[in-house]
Structure 1
Amino acid sequence: MVRVQCPCCDYFTFDSIEDALFEICEVCFWQYDEVAHDRPKVNIGANHISLDHARENYKKYGACEERFKAMVRMPLNEELPINNLK
């Protein structure tokens, strides 16, 4: 299976692109949004925060926004980039 990488936390948290389009990342709580991914500096789309800001927040809080810290989990072994090399 080819997993899909979250653009916020960089873990491979989605089983497919179809899942990614409808799911929220359980590791960082980012909602997959191709419009925001194409314009990471702009506050646009479903997340109401820019992707760049969400990435900074993930490094700081462990979630795309501080208010979601209690709603996320650590990445699973199969979600680690090292385990998803092509």
Structure 2
Amino acid sequence: MKQYEYKFSFLPEAINDCEKVSDLETTCEVKGKYPCPCCCYNTFPVPKEDAIAYICPVCFWENDVFTSSDDEPSDENRGMTLNEGRRNYKILGACSQDMLIHVREPKSDEFPK
């Protein structure tokens, strides 16, 4: 079988002058000033009304600006309600069992005042 080498002259050449950085070095966290609606730690950079699809690093709740009550199922959280997420956080330490691998402990400046 013969190998063919194709040259696509109509495609632009891709140039990447960025350094290869490990996954650990590329994580970036935004300093939180506002409380997460699920765990209440100050992890949100903006009020919850403005934090569209922001995920809390402490409980891994994804903020849903489109729900109107704490008992309304959240599309961002696979149908879980905010009250269910709060209960799960108190018991498990994350908004749901499968999110435990993503969460971290709250930092000293994130505790509610």
User: TM-score band, normalised by the shorter chain?
Assistant: 0.7 to 0.9
Q: Which has the higher helix share?
A: 1
Indicate which of 65, 68, 80 corresponds to 1:34: 65
Q: Which has the higher strand share?
A: 2
CA distance in 2, matches of 1:75, 1:14: 12
RMSD: 2.2
Higher radius of gyration, 1 or 2 = 2
- Alpha carbons 1:4, 1:20 under 8 Å: kept: no
How many aligned positions are there?
A: 81
CA distance in 1, matches of 2:98, 2:43: 20
TM-score normalised according to structure 1 size: 0.81
| TM alignment of 1:57-72, pairs within 5 A | 57-72=88-103
Unaligned runs of 5+ in 1: none
Residue identity over aligned pairs, in percent, reads: 37
Counterpart position of 1:73? 104
Unaligned runs of 5+ in 2: 1-30
Residue 44 of structure 1 pairs with residue 74 of structure 2: yes
Indicate which of 84, 90, 97 corresponds to 1:53: 84
What is the identity, as a one-letter code, of the residue corresponding to 1:10?
C
What is the identity, as a one-letter code, of the residue corresponding to 1:71?
H
